[in-house]
Amino acid sequence: MKAPEFWSNDNSILPTILTPIGGIYDACARARTAFSTANKAPLPVICVGNVVVGGAGKTPCTMALLTRLRAAGVDSHAISRGYGGRVTGPVRVDPATHRARDVGDEPLLLATVAPTWVARDRFAATRQAAEAGARLVVLDDGLQNPTLEKDLSLLVIDPTNGVGNGRILPAGPLREPLARALDRVQAVIVLDGAATGQDGGWPQTIDRLHPGLPVFRARLTPEMEAVRLLEQPAIAFAGLGRPEKFFSLLRGMGCDLAGTYAFSDHHRYSPDEIMKIVEEAASKGARPVTTAKDAVRLPVEAAGMVDVIHVVVEFEDEAGIDALLHSFLKSS
């Protein structure tokens, strides 16, 4: 789904009308937590989550942490619910045979950096990972899931969109109040995913709401090959929680965007949709480009027609994030 415009501000009457429903949603979430038992996994669990619906950058941050952990010699596996896929799991993702319609798009990305498990039951996935030799697991999302005990939780915040209008679903984008989430996490990652160079004042806001909570600034950075791809005009398309972030990132890289197409998150592209974009790009002397997350949802016959912009997360304080992970590993 695309985020409604009124989620970003309170200029519409709709948030006010929907706020009572948001109260019911929040009450149900609190009741679920109160009546659920958090299972203790057979190995340490790191959770990367957020408080808004889509678009904060959880998956790139999860991939960055997995990359750092595995580079340090820690056999780390990823666990995802597999949103948009039909597999209930637990099943280990095989990029050679699985498609996005099977396991979801995000697990296919995670599987490029670490062994990845898809499961509706995350606790069951931790047991499978442990049996496969994992030393720890990293959850891509799951902060609001009360059925699995987490040993280290990190909250990802997008400084451009923040918490939107600050209201609970469906009146706003929040899954839960920010203050409640901050009470359950051990650190926050403020991820600039749109090349703004700004943190939106979020480190100060978090320090005011939860003094002393570590905050790590980070940004999405294109890989060198992506920079070369964008030396000519591009037609960009994306089906993300917030497609405009991808377009802003490209503009921040100096890309001349000859056109953009925004689709809903996890959108499954048809051959006709891709051909329309490819033909427009050809007519304008431009390259059709998209994200790695979108690329795994392209029709097989169209995959070779589109260039993929790969990005990585760069932490401003790399020593700090490594120290956090090292301290966690030492204590676990």
Per-residue pLDDT tens for 75-134? 999 999 999 899 998 999 999 999 999 999 999 999 999 999 999 999 999 999 999 999
Across the range 36-44, mean pLDDT stands at 95
Give the model's pLDDT for residue 84.
87
Average pLDDT, rounded, for the chain: 93
End-to-end CA distance of the chain: 38
Give the model's pLDDT for residue 89.
87
pLDDT at residue 229 is higher than 80: no
**Which range among 1-10, 16-25, 136-145, 247-256 shows the weakest confidence by mean pLDDT?**
1-10
Omega prior to 214 cis, within 30 of 0: no
Spatial strand order of the sheet with 287-291 comes to: 257-263, 234-239, 287-291, 307-309
In percent, how much of the chain has pLDDT > 90? Answer: 82
Q: What architecture (CATH level 2) is domain 224-309?
A: 3-Layer(aba) Sandwich (3.40)
Q: Looking at domain 45-221+313-331, what is its CATH homologous superfamily?
A: P-loop containing nucleotide triphosphate hydrolases (3.40.50.300)
Q: Judging by beta carbons within 10 Å of its beta carbon (0-12, 13-18, 19+), is residue 24 exposed, middle or buried?
A: exposed
For the chain, give every domain's residue range: 45-221+313-331, 224-309
Higher pLDDT, residue 45 or 231: 45
CA 302 to chain centre: 25
Give the model's pLDDT for residue 56.
87
Give the model's pLDDT for residue 227.
74
Per-residue pLDDT tens for 171-217? 999 999 999 999 999 999 999 987 777 888 999 999 999 999 999 99
Q: How confident is the model at residue 21 (pLDDT cuts 50, 70, 90)?
A: very high
> How far apart are the C-alpha atoms of 137 and 124, rounded to whole Å?
12
Burial 125-139 (b: 16+ CB within 10 A, else e): bbbbbbeeebbbbbb
Q: How far is CA 267 from CA 111, 174, 305, in A?
A: 20, 22, 18
Tokens for 100? 């996005």
**Which range among 5-14, 64-73, 107-116, 301-310 shows the weakest confidence by mean pLDDT?**
5-14
Phi and psi, residue 189, nearest 5°? -110, 120
Give the model's pLDDT for residue 91.
97
Give the model's pLDDT for residue 1.
61
List of residues 6+ apart from 34 with CB closer than 8 A = none
Across the range 49-72, mean pLDDT stands at 94
